Amino acid sequence: MATKLNPQQQTAVKTIDRPLLVLAGAGSGKTRVITEKIAYLVRQGLPARHIAALTFTNKASREMKARVGKLLDDKELRGLRVSTFHSLGLEILRKEHKTLQYKAGISLFDEQDKITLLKNLITHSSQNYDIDAVNIYSGLIGQWKNSFVTPEQALSLANAEEEQEAAQIYVDYARSLKAYNAVDFDDLILLPVLLFQQFPETLEKWQNIIRYLLVDEYQDTNITQYQLVKLLVGKLGKFTVVGDDDQSIYAWRGAHPENLEQLQKDYTRLEVIKLEQNYRSYGRILKVANQLIANNPHAFEKKLWSDMGYGDPLRVLAHKNDLEEAKQVVAEIVHHKFKTGGCFGNYAILYRSNHQSRLFERSLREQDVPYFITGSASFFSYAEIKDILSYLRLFVNSDDDAAFLRVVNTPRREIGPTTLEKLGAYANGRHISLFSACSEMGLKQQLSESAIARLQKFCQWTLRTSAEIQSGDTFAVMHAFIQQINYHQWLHENSTSQAAAERKIKNVDELLEWLQRLAEKTEDSENTLEAIVAKIQLLDILDRNQEEEADSQVSLMTFHAAKGLEFPHVFLIGFEEDILPHQNSVETGNIEEERRLAYVGITRAQHTCTFSYCTHRKRYGDISESAPSRFLEELPQDELEWPSKKPVDKEEQKVRGKANLAHLKSMLS
């Protein structure tokens, strides 16, 4: 990155008297513009506590905070908000819960909690809903929330039978969440928007708190997020949004790139500044990327350029099958590392779908090449792990409503959503936890004696088990309670196969072993269940550390996961019809987003970029022919090198043989 801001960057930083859209191409220094602008605003007299910068990931938020911290001192930084959209939404909800008639300590439902609640609603409904369609219902509810559609509106908009069913469940789901004093991930944006629309004085309060708003990756905002931004900035439009329509690749999760164009309609004084100078890639890579994306229609025209040199031709490798593709790409990495003296952390393998990584993992392991898979499921995200951890959280803190809701009917104790809804409403009115509400006399006015008896039986068992854990052999009691609730049987009954159930049981055993090892490694004062549970709450830090260790490993990830990242050497695999572009996109006519996805992949590369495709590929157990991606034809052919189309260089063969031999020796040493 240049030490000084270029003219376009300077203008973007200093434009503060009107709404601003910064069209920032890949590698053009958009994060620097945002951070420099925050510093500029503070130096112009706007206190940091009145500035908010919104991102889409915690990682981006942390990076932005760190960069601003180098530009301003602690006093100047005081009160600055740099967070994700959802973190800001959660802050608003927690501070304004009374206005929305929630009690303090709102529980946040994750996707698994959402599915569990929907399943309970379906199971206990008088309507003939399809339990197997629960994921479809969940997806539709999420889409409605992201499109700013309330349950009542969904009922009137739903057309197909499946949509009508989902809309009705949406109504019940929203009511149940409210009764539980809970919200889901999408509510973190939807509810603040509804709050601001319904209570103008609350909106005015937050407009006074946030007097200047900056938004990163604006092309990824959905309709509800756009509404939130519009409400917060008001008519004056004190904002800067930074985005790139060519990198809009998240339509499948609600992103609405049309929000960029909508700004021009909503803010007539909008200024548009383009950042086209790229500080990441060689010129040849940018030329290839520019020509590809030029095939898409554009509301805003731009063309990336670089003064970092032109670079080598981009290579296109052809393979007879996917196994050979994996072997050859790994061999290319080993050879290139040997030739250049770099490290494995300089290389990335990108693919369209996660399943494509398996053969590459195998080849990397066989060659003893270290690798790191981004986006692979965390051990602690498995439902069975979350179940057991929720039990432990409840043993430590009986007032943990989220933990209570997760396990009170897991395994089933005939405590259905209607009972929990009434319990939640009672607890909300009394401003107490769900667990505490179970023992109150007043609950008899809300629930039947049998329902109360089942709840109290669960609570008594919880208290008894908690006492045993605190006073006895902690881990012996843990194993015992899992047996007492017949959890293994529950897993067998709720798994798709015997093998799947066994995997889940093995995961639970592994969790208990890990917790015991954790306890043994700590001081006596820190090996209590409370201390262990507290450490588990901080596991996101451990996850971040794992990401940091990826510097010395080959990175494997999807094109989507690679957005925002850069690597000296990038391999784009599976560049074939029906893979990229994906078959579903071809069938639905959504080629433009697939082209943007390929563009994102190419612009991750700093020095070299290699495309790879197969002539034959194994699909659903059968070998079928594959055709090269249409996107390869759209690239400037004079900037590509096809090794399969030129004679074999004997000298190059010798060099590759030496590389493989050297790597073999390093493996044995």
What distance in Å separates the CA atoms of residue 183 and residue 177, rounded to the nearest whole number? Answer: 6
Place of tokens 């350029």: 305
Interhelix angle 200-209/187-198, nearest 10 degrees: 110
φ and ψ of 188, to 5 deg: -65, -20
| 3-state secondary structure (DSSP) of residue 366 | helix
> Any bridge partners for residue 372, and if so which?
555
8 Å CB contact between 221 and 247: no
Q: 8, 9, 31, 55: which one is catalytic?
A: 31
Amino acid at 399: D
Amino acid at 252: W
> Cis (ω within 30 of 0) for the bond into 417?
no
- For the question of residue 30 being annotated catalytic, the response is yes
What distance in Å separates the CA atoms of residue 125 and residue 113, rounded to the nearest whole number? Answer: 18
8 Å CB contact between 374 and 556: yes
If phi over 0 gives left and psi between -120 and 50 gives alpha, with beta otherwise, what is residue 374? beta
8 Å CB contact between 267 and 237: yes
Place of tokens 């930074």: 242
What distance in Å separates the CA atoms of residue 245 and residue 257, rounded to the nearest whole number? Answer: 6
Amino acid at 165: E
CA angle 482, 487, 488 (to 5 degrees): 110
Runs of H (alpha helix) within 96-160: 111-123, 134-146, 151-157
What distance in Å separates the CA atoms of residue 669 and residue 667, rounded to the nearest whole number? Answer: 6
- For the question of residue 445 being annotated catalytic, the response is no
Q: 36, 113, 186, 216: which one is catalytic?
A: 216
What distance in Å separates the CA atoms of residue 393 and residue 396, rounded to the nearest whole number? Answer: 5
Half-sphere exposure of 352 (CA within 13 A, CB side): 24
- For the question of residue 280 being annotated catalytic, the response is no
> Any bridge partners for residue 635, and if so which?
none
Amino acid at 12: A
Q: 219, 221, 247, 410: which one is catalytic?
A: 247
- For the question of residue 216 being annotated catalytic, the response is yes
Kind plus residue range of the DSSP H or E element containing 84: strand 81-84
Number of H helices, E strands in the chain: 31, 17
What distance in Å separates the CA atoms of residue 365 and residue 367, rounded to the nearest whole number? Answer: 5
- For the question of residue 114 being annotated catalytic, the response is no
With a CB cutoff of 8 Å and minimum separation 6, the contacts of 650 are none
Query: Which among 239, 244, 250 is positioned nearest to 299, based on CA atoms?
Result: 244
Amino acid at 289: A
Query: Which among 305, 304, 298 is positioned nearest to 245, based on CA atoms?
Result: 298
With a CB cutoff of 8 Å and minimum separation 6, the contacts of 170 are 137, 140, 141, 144, 151, 154, 155
CA 113 to chain centre: 17
Question: DSSP string spanning 47-111?
Answer: -GGGEEEEESSHHHHHHHHHHHHTTS-HHHHTT-EEEEHHHHHHHHHHHSTTTTT--SS-EEE-H
- For the question of residue 247 being annotated catalytic, the response is yes
What distance in Å separates the CA atoms of residue 410 and residue 388, rounded to the nearest whole number? Answer: 10
Place of tokens 């293994």: 488
What distance in Å separates the CA atoms of residue 176 and residue 530, rounded to the nearest whole number? Answer: 30
What distance in Å separates the CA atoms of residue 249 and residue 256, rounded to the nearest whole number? Answer: 10
Residues 62-85: b if buried by 16+ CB within 10 A, e if exposed: ebbbebbeeebeeebbeebbbbbb
State the catalytic residues: 30-31, 216-217, 247, 604
